[in-house]
Chains A and B, each alone.
Chain A
Amino acid sequence: MTDKLIVSTSPHLHKKESVSWIMWMVFIALLPSGLAGIYYFGLRALWLILISILAAVVTECVCLLLRRKKITLLDGSAVVTGLLLAYNLSPAVPFWMPVVGSFFAIAIVKQAFGGLGRNIFNPALCGRVFLLLSWPKLMTGFIKPFSNVDAVTSATPLVLFKESAANVYNIGLTYWDLFLGRRSGCLGEVAIFALIIGAAFLLVFKIISWHIPLTYAVTLGLFSWLFSASGFARGDVLFSILSGGVILGAFFMATDYVTCPLTRKGQLIFGASCGLLTFLIRRWGGYPEGVSFSILIMNAFVPLIDRFTRPRVYGKK
């Protein structure tokens, strides 16, 4: 693989990290959460993941052929996109949905903009939002862990929270349940402990930095605590971070190299803005969860953030 993705400002001395190495590391880091999802939601979750990845890879192949480019499947970026898209789906969705979502993510969001490294928005999240806006009923029909698909669809903790402004115990869950993932939600977002294992792996190998995830979670927690529905400074910080897709979004999708700011300062702004937007959507928006929307909105601001946080040239004022 000759094309290396350069993601830093000067100095330009590099380790021999290639795009494919990073992508496969992200893939490995995502595996625990997927295994947990399969454990909670059954073999159906495994099929969804496999179909999503297959659809992403096939679409990537076809697009690269049409664009007369070298087929670069081994770089793993399509595989990671497919995997992330599956993690963002309810485990109860019909099997054609990951296919449509993966196709949209790869063909429109990634390849139409020029392929790997040139997309403005995170492909997997765009795929999810496309599906959410197209088939809102199917996308929000969640199931409880260890139940079959035909079981009564159950609302996610965030939906219950928004409707009744209750605290975590009224919903019938404990923080421990949220941490382990014993709640309804998207396939790969429920198992917080598994996501944290993966995130720690990425942090240790310095594939992601703490800047975006930390500012994201802290800002979201702070605002959820201060301006909660049950009064000023009475919000539930832990619940706001453990529920929904914050951990998955903050560690694995907001940190996407292509669509996040280059400088550390820019990343702090990016993470904090994502957190604020997520809080605003959850608290006053029409949707119970706003992680995907806020990351996509902030993706659009990345060029601006990069322009205003351009590092000072050495020796100049």
Chain B
Amino acid sequence: MKLYALFKEFSKGIFKENPIFVIVLGLCPALAVSTSLENALGMGVAATFVLVFSNLIISAIRKKVPNKIRIPCFIVVIASFVTIVELLIAAYVPLLQKQLGIFIPLIVVNCIIMGRAEAFASRNKVLPSIFDGLGMGAGFTLALSLVALIREVLGSGKIFGHLIFKEFNPASIMVLPPGALLTMGVLIAVANLIKQKRK
């Protein structure tokens, strides 16, 4: 029974409360980084790491933090983990760091992480918080990868940097900012359609 509850915390992040398509949070990195599948996966993994560990710490210290200064406290925790991630990426995958650039440090102000800290981790026990972080991270990564897959295929005719269509004239608008907004809009519409159908 307990395991089932934990699984529910995990799975809600993927469909029912998907951070991008349903809650519509964290759009800034989602729009900027989703030009290729590689970037999207890198960003997703980095954000998931920060999400899980910040949820863990914030949930653990939730009773010690005075209510009035909780937001600064959360930010200190989140910023610490973002710094760890940034240094790790710089050390082991410098190419990805070059690609993602400013968007790694900007995970600090990613609304999903802040939102989960405020809405979930600061009110729940440690274990559910970890699973919430995992689920939200997975949902974010999946959504980002879907957007990136569409944009990479249509915008440069590639998947993971490999050319897939030879006789295809890619629409470069899809890898430009308008392409991100168009893809996102269509996908959110589809998500809403599915939600309506289920009711």
Contact = CB atoms under 8 A, between A and B. Distances in A.
A135 B171 contact: yes
Contacts of B172: 133-136
Most A-side CB within 10 Å, residue of B173, B176, B189: B173
Interface residues of B, number: 11
B144 to A, nearest CB: 22
Contact of A134 (B171, B185, B186, B189): B171
A307 B185 CA distance: 27
A112 interface: yes
Interface string A151-179: 00000000000000000000000000000
Interface of A: 100, 108, 112, 130, 133-136, 138
Contacts of A100: 171
B37 interface: no
Contacts of A138: 169
A55 to B, nearest CB: 16
B185 to A, nearest CB: 8
Give the dominant DSSP class at A's interface. Answer: helix
Contacts of B189: 112
19 contacts: A100-B171, A108-B182, A108-B186, A112-B185, A112-B189, A130-B173, A133-B172, A133-B173, A133-B176, A133-B178, A134-B171, A134-B172, A134-B173, A134-B174, A135-B169, A135-B171, A135-B172, A136-B172, A138-B169
Most buried by B among A108, A130, A134: A134
Nearest to A100: B171
A239 to B, nearest CB: 31
A294 to B, nearest CB: 17
Contacts of B169: 135, 138
